Amino acid sequence: MNIKITFPDGKIQEYASGVTPAEIAAQIGPGLARAALAASLDGQLVDMNAPLKSDGALRFVTFQDPEGKDIYRHSSSHIMAQAIRRIWPEAALAIGPAIADGFYYDIALPQPISTEDLPRIEEEMERIVREDLPFSRVEVPREEALEIFRKQGNKFKEEIISELPVDATVSLYRQGEFVDLCRGPHIPSTKYLKAFKLTAVAGAYWRGDEKRDMLTRIYGTSFSDKKDLKEHLQLLEEARKRDHRKLGKELGLFTFHQEGPGFPFFHPRGVVLYNTLTGFCREELQKRNYREVRTPIILHEQLWHQSGHWDHYKENMYFTTIDERQFAVKPMNCPGGLLIYKSTHHSYREFPIRVGEFGLVHRHEKSGVLHGLFRVRAFTQDDAHVFCLPEQLEDEIRGLVDLILYFYKVFGFEDVHIELSTRPEKSIGTDEVWEKATSALQNTLEHMNIVYKLNPGDGAFYGPKIDFHIRDCLKRTWQCATIQVDFSMPERFDLTYVGADGQEHRPVMVHRAVFGSLERFMGILIEHYAGNFPLWLAPVQVMVLPIGGEQEAWALELIAMLRAAGIRAEIDLSSEKIGRKIRDAEIQKIPCMLVIGQREADGHSAAIRRHGAGDQGVKAAEELIRDLLAEIAEKRLHP
């Protein structure tokens, strides 16, 4: 019996039932046979040696495909796990997924290990790669799978399997003597792993639960080409140098303290950066007819039941009791904005109503996931809630997309990836309103000719959303901005306006954030710029450096002129030699240094140095202030 296989170019070919993707790839050409890691049959990923027994659309998956990278790196984690079991046979494996640019495996080891042990594991992995062990899928009954891992003494796999239905069939993957619980698919054999590196050792709780076993998490990365691996490792090294936690402390921006784990303490220069970001945002929002509000941090528990957060977000919230009544610390700003809307009557003539808030929110994060400013327990959201008429919805979404892309361009993020996320499994609202909301987002993106990726099931519980992912100079992506269309909250809170017909109608609510979290965005900027902020953003824009005491009078006069012009300037009046003063200013990454010698003092001028670029010549005070103000006003990324 033959089956019909349809290829991506539309060509249809007949093959004998049971043919494998590997056999088809070999017939097409040796290049494809070497590159293909897995295949997709009617959208379902399968191994290259899986027998095909029915008609279908076939696509080969290589390392160039996102799914290919995941398969390759997940297979890398299996090879690493096999190497670890060879070195420490009593090791118990937990989970080992692929992650962005790499993989990890959580393991209960018989002894503590450190990064010094990683080369030993890598050597064993190299040996496994040379052995060219095929990955083979085996399906067994649930009880048989349980018995396999009982014999290994692996309580973690037993727990996972025990949660499956009694009559479930469990898929296992073998390579040589090694067997692991896995859905697959995997690369054809271990020899396909061309370039890899183990990068770190950390601790992780089993299933993220602080009350469960503490496991050893071993991180690694892998690529299909050694050149790509080398480039990636160089980027990782650069990322370590740019670590915002290290730079934040060195530049006097922020610190963390054990008295408030997960709660950042901003120092004066950090507050300047924070205020510069919010000031820029306020200025742009005023141009677009936003009005700013401020809502309480603590609100009654009943409000969170009404909004739906209680059912969908309770585990991330903090609670308190006031006058024997239960209150919650807000994890989001939306309900407060809804109460403000409800406090007055509205006419259709007022719309759209654009309301912004820099709202401090608190979310309970487990200690194991806290990470500098990237993952904190208290942060400021640059929230906005746009209330509009249904017929205004797509125009408002278009305006928000333009606003977000403009903001990112100002900061130098030109590479922006957009995802449209649809209704999740846990949600509120009817099918009809979800369809209307999703169509509005989709139509707007398509009318704007914006390329986007569909992300099914990842919307907010109250509405679909567009997420914006920016790529930094180290090729890392960060999800920051979001636009969410919400028909459900206006219904739950009974929001109304009087239409042209004199009757009450429901407005549409659009949730929007550009930075997302101010704290997180600051962390991204610190690492993107390596602390070398453009002049308009720098907490200290100018450092005045008199060479000696004879020049101090002019230096003090100059700094007064700079500050009067609105330029953030400081002065170094220490007795250090000028070389040391310049070095200190460079270490602080001050964008502009003004060196004052006797000639400059006599001529009411300054010798200009730019951070990392050296001498820029001498200018009269009025001219250099004019030039600096122009650079700041234009928000130039470079002098």
At 436, which amino acid appears?
A: K
Catalytic site residue 257?
Answer: no
385 is catalytic: yes
Of 511, 581, 609, 619, the catalytic one is 511
Q: How far is CA 66 from CA 61, 71, 191, in A?
A: 9, 9, 20
Instruction: Tell which residue, 156, 162, 171, 178, has the closest CA to residue 106.
Output: 156
Q: Is 592 a catalytic residue?
A: no
Helix axes 142-152, 155-162, angle to 10 degrees: 160
Nearby residues of 608 by Cβ (< 8 Å), 6 or more positions away: 592, 593, 594, 595, 615, 616, 617, 618, 619, 624
User: CA-CA distance, 571 to 604, in Å (whole number)?
Assistant: 16
- Cα-only R_g, the chain: 29
List the Cα angle 35/236/65 in 5-degree steps.
25
Catalytic residue among 180, 382, 383, 572: 383
Q: For residue 426, give both structure tokens.
A: 């846990």
Which one of the listed residues 175, 381, 484, 541 is annotated catalytic?
381
Q: Is 288 among the catalytic positions?
A: no
| 357: amino acid identity, one letter | E
Rounded distance, CA 486 to CA 102, Å?
36
**Is 64 a residue of the active site?**
no
- Neighbouring residues of 411: CB distance < 8 A, sequence distance ≥ 6: 525, 528
Tell me if residue 512 is catalytic: no
The number of beta carbons lying within 10 Å of the beta carbon of residue 264 is 22
Q: Which amino acid is at 24?
A: I
Q: Give φ, ψ of 30 to 5 degrees.
A: -65, -30
Q: Is 465 annotated as catalytic?
A: yes
Report the alpha-carbon distance of residue 356 to residue 211 in Å, rounded.
Answer: 40
Contact 280, 287 (CB under 8 A): no
Sequence-separated (6 or more) residues with CB below 8 Å from residue 291: 353, 354, 355, 356
Q: Which of 244, 346, 363, 611 is catalytic?
A: 363
Helices 518-529 & 268-287 angle (0-180, nearest 10): 110
What whole-number distance in Å separates Cα of residue 324 and Cα of residue 181? 50
Taking the C-alpha atoms of residue 441 and residue 398, their distance in angstroms, rounded to an integer, is 9
Listed in order, strand segments (DSSP E) in 422-496 are 453-455, 465-471, 477-486
Among the listed residues 227, 231, 245, the one whose alpha carbon sits nearest the alpha carbon of residue 475: 231
Amino acid at 263: F
The residue annotated as part of the active site, out of 330, 375, 385, 609, is: 385
Residue (of 460, 451, 446) closest to 511 by Cα position: 460
- Which of 74, 346, 465, 512 is labelled catalytic? 465
Beta bridge partners of 56: 5
Q: Give the residue carrying structure tokens 């892309």.
A: 405
Beta-strand (E) ranges in 154-281?
A: 169-175, 178-181, 195-205, 214-223, 254-255, 265-266
Contact 334, 176 (CB under 8 A): no
Check 182, 334, 388, 480 and give the catalytic one: 334
Classify 258 as helix, strand or coil: coil
CB atoms < 10 A from the CB of 152, how many? Answer: 17
Catalytic positions are 334, 363, 381, 383, 385, 465, 511
